[in-house]
Amino acid sequence: MANGWSLLIGLLFIVVFSAVSWFASPKGDNQTVWRSTLILSAWSCYLMWAITFLAQWHPLIAPKRSDLRPEFVHHEGPRFF
């Protein structure tokens, strides 16, 4: 089940990945390019996942069905006859 710990675990994973990427990037002329590419890609993926996760976890708009006849719309919840 989805809960608030998912965000913190994902954040911890991204911080560890960023630290490893900083120190394990190949040495040479393109070291800065490697570091920035790996770290920015990881954080961008995390932000996209977190925004999508939060949008589904706490939706701003509750979906409503419009294809039901009025006699089958119940405000207390579904009834089984």
Q: Per-residue pLDDT tens for 17-64? A: 999 999 998 899 999 999 999 999 999 999 999 999 888 887 777 777
Q: Where are the domains of the chain?
A: 1-81
Higher pLDDT, 69 or 43: 43
Average pLDDT score over residue span 56-76 = 70
Phi, psi of 30 (to 5 degrees): -100, 20
The answer to whether the predicted template modeling score (pTM) of the entire model surpasses 0.85 is no
3: confidence class by pLDDT, cuts 50, 70, 90: confident
Task: Give per-residue burial for 26-37: e unless 16+ CB within 10 Å, then b.
Answer: eeeeeeeebbee
